[in-house]
Structure 1
Amino acid sequence: MTSRAFVFDGSEGRSVAGTLEPPATTLRGWAIFAHCFTCGKDSLAAVRVSRALARAGIGVLRFDFAGGGESGATPEHPTFATNICDLVAAVRAMAAAGMPPALLVGHSLGGAAVLGAASQLPEITAVATISAPADLEHVLNQFTTEDLEHIEANGEADVQIAGRLFTIHREFLADCERNDIEAHVAALRRPLLIMHAPLDNVVGIEHASRLFLAARHPKSFVSLDQADHLLTKNADANYAASMIAAWATRYLPPLAPDLPQVETAEGVRASETGVGKLQVEIRSGEHRLLADEPVSVGGLGSGLSPYELVAAGLAACTVMTMRLYADRKGFPLERAHALVEHTKMPGMDPADRFTRTITLDGSLDDSQRNEILAIGDRCPVDLTLTRGSDVQTGFGEIALPDRVKH
């Protein structure tokens, strides 16, 4: 599923621009990602962590806090409290749209914001933070003494932080001074995951220690090892997301099968034919086909490659699932087609991407087409690929019906 826009009314009636990452597999739950102070909803960390969670079945909304990104009208003097109000409004808006969040994830100042917002959101079952500060005085360290004096004297000042220009108001500084993040953590009484990098030179590791000590159980800590504060390395963002996804599953609804397996599993045998370097005969019952690799990599090009066979399985399962669903619902589907392409995506974990294109023939209305597409997007082979599988290997005798003829 592709990301899509999600706009909602934030604090003071302003419009907030968000991006929704729908779950790529069976829905486990919904989450909201809160970005860092100098970032936005489209920062590397926000995008990578949100999409990695979506691949694990956790749909994510990421949006711009007041004063940045694509959001419309902003409060005259945005504060940390404004961010908390926006988070509460986002939870309410998602719930109203049928996507009630159960998980809050916050990065840096966004981590402090989710800790502050959770106390107002009893429906949130778990909270995760990445490189979050234990106090908001840390934010004041981003400003020079001259900046602070200018803000106090004039009520506001344009401040350069991490290459971006921010208008900082006196109200923001006052709000940072009055908010007690450790008190929010102590009162949280929800499962908390704290993630931090020991070498973080923006928010020191001592902040994670303070948050962990303030929190009540169940609480967990995961070290992000060599990561930097902004998670600029894709591997670090993917690792953080995988840890959050694995931890959060304990606090999300249990995973249940979507669709039954309809075929009888008899086993598939593969044997070298002795023809060419890589040609393989594949047998299942009375069925036989050849697999091979292209000439360019040493094969004969006499059959589908292994990844093409995987893509073929996904395409076939998609079409069959859509047919069974359309027949059960009485939809006028004449013929269904699926094209599946496999590519390796550098920087993505896992790196394999299967792109599926669907064509439906018949006098279907938009609602019927969308229903068929949705069920095809969750066919059994799709769920096997996106969830992962247990593969066990050992020695044994394989019964061959006859010798492969060359």
Structure 2
Amino acid sequence: MPTENISISTASGHALSGSLEMPTGLVRGAALFAHCFTCTKQSRAAIEVARALAGEGIACLRFDFTGLGGSEGEFGRAGFATDVGDLVDAASYLFERFAQPILLVGHSLGGAAVLAAADDLGFDKVAAIATIGAPSDVPHVLHNIKGDLDAIRDQGQGEVTIGGREFCLGREFIERVESADLLAEVGRLRRPLLFLHSPTDDIVGIEHASALFAAAKHPKSFVSLEGADHLLLKDADARFVASVIASWAHRYLPMREDWPMPDEGVVVKSGHGKFGTEVHTVSHRFIADEPKSYGGDDTGPTPYDLLNAALGTCTAMTMKMYADRKGWPLEGVTVEVRHERNHKEECHHVAAMEQGTQLQALHRTINLQGDGLDEEQRAKIIEIADKCPVHRTLEGELHIHTEAAG
């Protein structure tokens, strides 16, 4: 997906480092992802969820909390309240840019943070909230800190180890974590909520999901992540979570009414990235792109893929329709189409062309499935392939008229 590097200014004066995953085509909405305790925006869950949402037309910002990854500030003196403040600043950036309510997504402590941030941000700016493995009590994260917390309370700061990494924590960090009352915050929410949690999570137990779900008001949903670990280290688990959230979010980030849906033909609009493009028909929409070798993001078929597909699909449909009409036992059709830019034909073909015109070709290979077909039927069905409407259009005299819109 096209990715923008974002710097977000905070109320405390330092900058947060963010990556905004943009849809290849048009933007239907925006989302904000909050990573887990001491992780960064580069965590597997952050990347998978952000890109899945972008694939559904939802721009997703993943960022580093204060003092982590590429963000400025001191992590050891920040605490939960600072995480919430970071989220409010990041969400405000998205709201200003896209001018519509956003989706909040949080993993582990990031999940607790998005639940707490919704009230500070304002419910009118929040479309829905999804959490992954979130704790129901914020002080729970202190159990994952190896160090003398009592000494830090007495002396003001001290060295600790979190997830194998060394940090210097201040008294303020511990006090801010201990003062959070998350269940009360959840009880006040009036936004759609989705809780995803693994029943075998050995860092944040499943009882936390039960407590959050019980405290929440409807509409609320729960998805069990059977077999997943807390950090979603398995690709399949991260992708499953991403797909569930992306699908669920559709209900709360509906398609914009001002998107072009033509009465006939297609409408093509440029999207994001170097070549990202969105195609709208009367009743469908899809994206097109170029491969990475051409400078694209490879998020959709290329224009020539679509040209090949037009011939291939029309060929298959025409042959199927003909066989059905005849009552012949055609079980299926496989059509392979390949485009050749420089096609060297016999000399009299080349001579008949205007000077400088490039001769191109589409190569079509057809496989008919159906053991009950005899040789004569097979030959007739193959012959019908050349009579498909797209084939006739491509080989006929085709004029393209272009005009500038008023």
Q: Normalising TM by the smaller chain, what interval? A: 0.5 to 0.7
Q: After superposition, where does 1:226-265 map in structure 2 within 5 Å?
A: 226-254=227-255, 258-260=260-262, 263=265
Aligned equivalent of 1:159: 160
What amino acid is the match of 2:224? S
- Asked if the contact 2:29–2:98 (Cα under 8 Å) also holds between the matched residues in 1, the reply is no
Structure 1 residues 65-122: Cα deviation after superposition (integer angstroms, max 9, x where no partner)? 1121101244782121011111111121222333645110000000010011001222
Aligned equivalent of 1:37: 37
Aligned equivalent of 2:136: 134
Structure 1 residues 17-68: Cα deviation after superposition (integer angstroms, max 9, x where no partner)? 1110012344221010000012011111111111111111111001111121
**Paired residue secondary structure (1:11):** coil
Aligned equivalent of 2:93: 93
1:143 aligned to which of 132, 145, 157: 145
Query: C-alpha distance in 1, partners of 2:382/2:88?
Result: 66
- Asked if the contact 2:198–2:226 (Cα under 8 Å) also holds between the matched residues in 1, the reply is yes
CA gap of 1:101–1:15, structure 2 versus 1, over 3 A, is farther
Query: C-alpha distance in 2, partners of 1:40/1:104?
Result: 17
- Asked if the contact 2:24–2:277 (Cα under 8 Å) also holds between the matched residues in 1, the reply is no
Aligned equivalent of 1:118: 118
Query: C-alpha distance in 1, partners of 2:241/2:265?
Result: 37
What amino acid is the match of 2:57? G
Q: Which has the larger radius of gyration?
A: 2
Aligned equivalent of 1:185: 186
Q: After superposition, where does 1:3-402 map in structure 2 within 5 Å?
A: 3-74=3-74, 77-98=77-98, 100-120=100-120, 121-122=122-123, 123-144=125-146, 146-254=147-255, 258-260=260-262, 263=265, 340-341=290-291, 353-354=299-300, 397=324, 402=380
How big is the shift at 1:259?
Answer: 4.8
- Asked if the contact 1:125–1:190 (Cα under 8 Å) also holds between the matched residues in 2, the reply is yes
How big is the shift at 1:339?
Answer: 8.1
Structure 1 residues 255-297: Cα deviation after superposition (integer angstroms, max 9, x where no partner)? 6663538559xxxxxxxxxxxxxxxxxxxxxxxxxxxxxxxxx
Query: C-alpha distance in 2, partners of 1:27/1:381?
Result: 28
What amino acid is the match of 2:220? K
What amino acid is the match of 1:149? D
How big is the shift at 1:134?
Answer: 0.2
What amino acid is the match of 1:190? R
Structure 1 residues 337-360: Cα deviation after superposition (integer angstroms, max 9, x where no partner)? x984499xxxxxxxx9547699xx
- Asked if the contact 2:26–2:278 (Cα under 8 Å) also holds between the matched residues in 1, the reply is no
What amino acid is the match of 1:116? A
Structure 1 residues 358-398: Cα deviation after superposition (integer angstroms, max 9, x where no partner)? 9xxxxxxxxxxxxxxxxxxxx9999xxxxxxxxxx999716
CA gap of 1:163–1:101, structure 2 versus 1, over 3 A, is farther
Query: C-alpha distance in 2, partners of 1:109/1:355?
Result: 38
What amino acid is the match of 1:129? T
**Paired residue secondary structure (2:250):** helix
CA gap of 1:319–1:169, structure 2 versus 1, over 3 A, is closer
Query: C-alpha distance in 2, partners of 1:90/1:204?
Result: 29
What amino acid is the match of 1:246? S
What amino acid is the match of 1:5? N
Which deviates more from structure 2 when the two are superposed, residues 125-134 or residues 163-172?
Answer: 163-172
What amino acid is the match of 1:213? A
What is the TM-score normalised by the length of structure 1? 0.66
How big is the shift at 1:177?
Answer: 1.3
| Root-mean-square deviation (Å) | 3.7
In percent, how many aligned pairs have the same letter?
45
Query: C-alpha distance in 2, partners of 1:109/1:380?
Result: 48
- Asked if the contact 1:25–1:56 (Cα under 8 Å) also holds between the matched residues in 2, the reply is no
Structure 1 residues 192-216: Cα deviation after superposition (integer angstroms, max 9, x where no partner)? 1000000000000000000000001
CA gap of 1:9–1:353, structure 2 versus 1, over 3 A, is closer
What is the TM-score normalised by the length of structure 2? 0.66
How big is the shift at 1:166?
Answer: 2.2
Structure 1 residues 174-231: Cα deviation after superposition (integer angstroms, max 9, x where no partner)? 1111110100100111111000000000000000000000001111000111111001
What amino acid is the match of 2:214? L
- Asked if the contact 2:30–2:98 (Cα under 8 Å) also holds between the matched residues in 1, the reply is no
**Paired residue secondary structure (2:77):** coil
**Paired residue secondary structure (1:4):** strand
CA gap of 1:340–1:135, structure 2 versus 1, over 3 A, is same
In structure 2, list runs of 5 or more residues that go unmatched. 267-274, 280-287, 310-319, 327-376, 384-406
How big is the shift at 1:143?
Answer: 2.2
In structure 1, list runs of 5 or more residues that go unmatched. 265-316, 322-337, 344-351, 359-378, 383-392
Q: Once superposed, which parts of structure 1, at least 4 consecutive aligned residues long, lie more than 6 Å away?
A: 317-321, 379-382, 393-396
Query: C-alpha distance in 2, partners of 1:320/1:161?
Result: 45
Structure 1 residues 288-331: Cα deviation after superposition (integer angstroms, max 9, x where no partner)? xxxxxxxxxxxxxxxxxxxxxxxxxxxxx99998xxxxxxxxxx
CA gap of 1:56–1:143, structure 2 versus 1, over 3 A, is same
- Asked if the contact 1:261–1:380 (Cα under 8 Å) also holds between the matched residues in 2, the reply is no
What amino acid is the match of 1:35? H
- Asked if the contact 2:2–2:23 (Cα under 8 Å) also holds between the matched residues in 1, the reply is no
1:404 aligned to which of 382, 386, 401: 382
How big is the shift at 1:247?
Answer: 1.3
Which deviates more from structure 2 when the two are superposed, residues 194-203 or residues 76-85?
Answer: 76-85
